């Protein structure tokens, strides 16, 4: 009888405890989102010069990289992806950096969204700048001669513990209106030339008929 009561107390005590919070359950507070915003604002611009702060991520972080078509799980694999990106960036460019264009936080779905751009200058351009510009204007020249490598948009999903449990990276496509305007500008001179030839042909035809 005593053993049965003892078992009942154990079951009662166990059932009264709330289940542990899963990584992706619950929504972060405003302060937790702001902390992620501050951390990413400081770390991302230094992606190519120093390690990131991986303490803001969960151990089983899901990284959906739609730019490369790769999905990984685990913060260690995520770190490897960033290290690989840094290595390729330094091989491709003599000077490379990530620019945070816009960062916003959304408490309704617990996300932080970042519009970013990776720009770089090739070694040949840097070499040519030394001959074109004065030494103290080299940095200004480098900044103005960056070419865009990646133009992207990232969504960081934050859980109730204030940790990022998922990162989705997408490539930003150029605005269709801008592309259309550029195409129109390229076609316009050709149309004008074609109209010029057409009018010359019409005049020649009329003269021969007369």
Torsion of the alpha carbons at 127, 131, 135 and 137, rounded to the nearest 10: -90
Residue 89 in contact with residue 49, Cβ under 8 Å? no
pTM, two decimals, is 0.66
Cα separation, 31 vs 164, whole angstroms: 14
The pLDDT, as a whole number, for residue 139 is 52
Q: How far is CA 57 from CA 12, 24, 150, 209, in A?
A: 35, 12, 23, 82
The pLDDT, as a whole number, for residue 55 is 97
Domains of the chain by start residue, with CATH: 30-175 (3.10.450.50)
Cα separation, 171 vs 153, whole angstroms: 6
Please state the rounded mean pLDDT for residues 86-109: 91
46: region left, alpha or beta (phi > 0 left; psi from -120 to 50 alpha):
alpha
The pLDDT, as a whole number, for residue 148 is 72
Cα separation, 47 vs 54, whole angstroms: 12
Q: Tens of pLDDT along 131-178?
A: 554 444 545 555 555 667 789 999 999 999 999 999 999 998 655 444
């Amino acid at each position: 009888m005593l053993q049965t009561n003892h078992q009942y107390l154990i079951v009662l005590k166990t059932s009264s405890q709330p289940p542990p919070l899963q990584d992706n359950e619950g929504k972060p507070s405003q302060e937790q989102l702001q902390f992620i915003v501050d951390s990413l604002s400081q770390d991302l611009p230094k992606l190519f010069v120093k390690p990131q702060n991986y303490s803001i991520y969960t151990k089983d972080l899901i990284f959906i990289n739609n730019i490369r078509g790769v999905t990984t799980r685990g913060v260690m694999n995520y770190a490897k992806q960033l290290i690989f990106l840094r290595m390729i960036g330094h091989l491709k460019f003599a000077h490379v950096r990530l620019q945070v264009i816009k960062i916003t936080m959304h408490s309704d779905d617990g996300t932080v969204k970042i519009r970013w751009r990776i720009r770089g200058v090739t070694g040949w351009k840097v070499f040519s700048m030394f001959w074109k510009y004065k030494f103290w204007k080299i940095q200004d020249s480098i900044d103005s001669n960056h070419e865009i490598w990646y133009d992207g948009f990232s969504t960081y999903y934050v859980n109730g513990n204030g940790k990022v449990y998922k990162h989705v990276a997408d490539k930003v496509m150029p605005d269709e209106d801008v592309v259309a305007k550029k195409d129109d500008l390229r076609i316009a001179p050709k149309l004008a030339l074609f109209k010029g030839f057409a009018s010359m042909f019409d005049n020649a035809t009329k003269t021969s008929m007369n």
